[in-house]
Amino acid sequence: KEENRDGYPAIFDRFSAFYSRYVYRRIRDCWNYPISSVPGSKVVLKERVTNDCGWTFEFTGNKINCLNLASYNYLGFAESSGPCAEAAIASIRQYGISTGGTRQQYGTCALHDELERLTAEFLGVDDAITFGMGYATNTLNLPTLISEGTLVISDEKNHASIIVGIKTPLGTVKVFKHNDVKDLENLLQEAIYYGQDRKGDYKPWKKIIIIVEGVYSMEGTIVRLPEIIALKKKYKAYLYLDEAHSIGAMGKNGRGVLDYFGCDPNDIDILMGTYTKSFGSAGGYIAGNKKLITYLRKHSFASKHAWAMPPALAAQIISVLKILMGRDGTKEGQRRIEALARNTRYFRLRLEQMGIIIHGNEDSPVVPILVYLYSNIVSMVRSLIKEKIATVGVGYPATPLLEGRIRICLSAGHTKEELDHALDVIEKVADEIGIKYSRKPRDLT
Ligand code: PMP
């Protein structure tokens, strides 16, 4: 009967302590293999074993050459050769590695300006500003956008960087059920009537910001963007869209969920994204109208106090953007975008046909396989590594206790043969641990 702070049975808290102290320690071999190659469609892991009930690791000196279903390299641009890597190498020869300062000091070089212009053009908005880290793009810019009297309405599955960014003393945060537009509208309706500031006084909210992601990285769901845009217009709210997992990976031209749904980019007030996934690089951006970007250039904690993006990263991303926009004179960008979409549909369909339960939308390259029990995560990750397939196991507290999953990220770099091999192995392992269900009803006659 006893409940914890979130209204769940108190036994959950005891489970939490049990997992972190006893279980996670013994199964640390399921995570964090150091890699010793480019995280492409294949990746080389350094084999290690755990000793002393998980307290220590020991490297065996062996390498495991794995098929890589664990990296966010959606378009296969994480490469050590080719035009993007060459552009990065050439920029090191010109600028070195570090910018030597923040954007507001002497940290801005010509590559930052070019990257910002290209990013804005790619997205179809006025302007963009870039930052050295995707995580910090959320944590350091959201507080700049939230002021006294701001109500933030955030999807319950939003990324940790958003959750940290909106926890400022000035704003009030309300959370709506994942991708549930009805629940969002209920909160917006409530918000028109009153707002309660931090002193407890009731007055109208000065500003309402809805925060959503394009593709949710643990769920594989795609945001219900057209409906959310309609709501933001109806209730005169601002919309903040984090496209970390969707930029490059979604839409006919790789321009994210806006492109996927055919929405107008100017309907999104704050377009955030990272260069870490589809671009095979690192860093983040915020794009939007001139007024917003000029404000952030001046006031963002990230442009005032954080190191600017290293020039080599900017050079790599510029090169990727040019390929995606067809400015390199080839159809390579389009080829990769189409390959990712094809691989995604094929892989998801085959898993469903096998009777494996997956979350998310058919076009989402993030594929969470539901294995439910914690012990299944461990069995599956270990069996797949033995078969030389790298995946990511995700469990409590990152997911609800009984919704453990194996997360797979597809890439344009995967060949059909590689995917077929992975599917055969996954089916065998799923049979062994008993997570398949029969799609056909049982014949009882
Ligand atoms: N936003 C979302 C939705 C993410 O999933 C992530 C990281 N996976 C980030 C922001 C942080 O980006 P980065 O890893 O580039 O720092």
ipTM of the complex: 0.98
Note the pLDDT tens digit of each residue in 338-365.
Answer: 999 999 999 999 999 999 999 999 999 9
> Which residue's C-alpha comes closest to atom 9 of ligand 1?
135
The DSSP result for 191-242, as a single string, is HHH--B-TTS-B---SEEEEEEESB-TTT--B--HHHHHHHHHHTT-EEEEE
Which atom of ligand 1 is nearest the CA belonging to 274? 15
Say whether pTM exceeds 0.80. yes
What is the whole-number distance in angstroms between the Cα of residue 161 and the centre of ligand 1?
Answer: 7
What is the whole-number distance in angstroms between the Cα of residue 247 and the centre of ligand 1?
Answer: 12
Which of 249, 242, 208 has the alpha carbon at shortest distance from 223? 242
Query: What pairing do the DSSP bridges indicate for beta strands 56-68 and 404-409?
Result: unpaired
Which of 381, 385, 412 has the alpha carbon at shortest distance from 395? 381
Mutate which of 142, 161, 162 for ligand 1 pocket (most atoms within 8 A of beta carbon): 161
Mean pLDDT of the chain: 92
Close Cβ partners of 442 (under 8 Å, ≥ 6 residues apart): none
Contact 411, 249 (CB under 8 A): no
Question: CA 309, CA 116: separation in Å to the nearest integer?
Answer: 12
What is the whole-number distance in angstroms between the Cα of residue 417 and the centre of ligand 1?
Answer: 30
49 vs 227, higher pLDDT:
227
* Residue 185 pLDDT > 80: yes
Query: Which has the minimum average pLDDT: 188-197, 285-294, 301-310, 328-337?
Result: 188-197
Q: How many residues would you count in the chain?
A: 445
Give the DSSP H or E segment for 151: strand 150-155
Q: Which two tokens stand for residue 276?
A: 């870490």
User: Residue 10's pLDDT band (boundaries 50, 70, 90)?
Assistant: confident
> Which residue's C-alpha comes closest to atom 12 of ligand 1?
134
Helices within 110-224 (DSSP H only): 110-123, 134-145, 160-166, 181-193
| Strand ordering across the sheet containing 366-372 | 366-372, 404-409, 392-394
Helix, strand or coil for residue 301?
A: helix
Which atom of ligand 1 is nearest the CA belonging to 275? 15
pLDDT of residue 444: 53
Which of 435, 408, 412, 432 has the alpha carbon at shortest distance from 66? 408
User: Crossing angle, helix 134-145 and helix 290-299, to 10 degrees?
Assistant: 100
Question: CA 248, CA 74: separation in Å to the nearest integer?
Answer: 8
- The count of C-alpha atoms lying within 13 angstroms of the C-alpha of 160, restricted to the half-sphere facing its C-beta, is 5
User: Residue 49's pLDDT band (boundaries 50, 70, 90)?
Assistant: confident
Q: Which two tokens stand for residue 337?
A: 């975008």
The β-bridge partners of 150 are 207
Dihedral over Cα of 134, 139, 143, 146: its sign? positive
pLDDT of residue 194: 66
Question: CA 174, CA 150: separation in Å to the nearest integer?
Answer: 11
Contact 426, 88 (CB under 8 A): no
Ligand 1 neighbours by CB, cut-off 6 Å: 133-135, 138, 159, 161, 213, 217, 242, 244-245, 274, 276, 284
What is the whole-number distance in angstroms between the Cα of residue 27 and the centre of ligand 1?
Answer: 25
What is the whole-number distance in angstroms between the Cα of residue 272 and the centre of ligand 1?
Answer: 10
* Residue 443 pLDDT > 60: no
What is the whole-number distance in angstroms between the Cα of residue 443 and the centre of ligand 1?
Answer: 47
pLDDT of residue 397: 78
Which of 154, 245, 244, 280 has the alpha carbon at shortest distance from 208? 154
Q: Which two tokens stand for residue 8?
A: 């769940």
Contact 208, 214 (CB under 8 A): no
Q: Which two tokens stand for residue 300?
A: 């963002």
pLDDT of residue 293: 98
Close Cβ partners of 165 (under 8 Å, ≥ 6 residues apart): 138, 139, 140, 141, 142, 143
Instruction: Give the position of tokens 């903040």.
Output: 240
CB atoms within 10 A of CB 285: 26
**352, amino acid identity:** E
Note the pLDDT tens digit of each residue in 95-141.
Answer: 999 988 998 899 999 999 999 999 999 999 999 999 999 999 999 99
Note the pLDDT tens digit of each residue in 55-76.
Answer: 777 888 899 999 999 999 999 9
What is the whole-number distance in angstroms between the Cα of residue 133 and the centre of ligand 1?
Answer: 9
Question: CA 195, CA 175: separation in Å to the nearest integer?
Answer: 15
Query: Which has the minimum average pLDDT: 13-27, 140-154, 311-325?
Result: 13-27
What is the whole-number distance in angstroms between the Cα of residue 128 and the centre of ligand 1?
Answer: 18
pLDDT of residue 439: 54
- The count of C-alpha atoms lying within 13 angstroms of the C-alpha of 350, restricted to the half-sphere facing its C-beta, is 15
**20, amino acid identity:** S
Question: CA 302, CA 103: separation in Å to the nearest integer?
Answer: 8
Mutate which of 154, 276, 286, 394 for ligand 1 pocket (most atoms within 8 A of beta carbon): 276
Q: CA angle at residue 377 from 373 to 383, to 5 degrees? A: 135
Question: CA 419, CA 411: separation in Å to the nearest integer?
Answer: 10
Which atom of ligand 1 is nearest the CA belonging to 136? 16
pLDDT of residue 200: 65
Question: CA 408, CA 391: separation in Å to the nearest integer?
Answer: 6
Close Cβ partners of 7 (under 8 Å, ≥ 6 residues apart): none
- The count of C-alpha atoms lying within 13 angstroms of the C-alpha of 94, restricted to the half-sphere facing its C-beta, is 14
What is the whole-number distance in angstroms between the Cα of residue 211 and the centre of ligand 1?
Answer: 14
CB atoms within 10 A of CB 275: 30
Mutate which of 157, 159, 222 for ligand 1 pocket (most atoms within 8 A of beta carbon): 159
10 vs 252, higher pLDDT:
252
Mutate which of 245, 274, 366 for ligand 1 pocket (most atoms within 8 A of beta carbon): 274
Question: CA 348, CA 363: separation in Å to the nearest integer?
Answer: 9
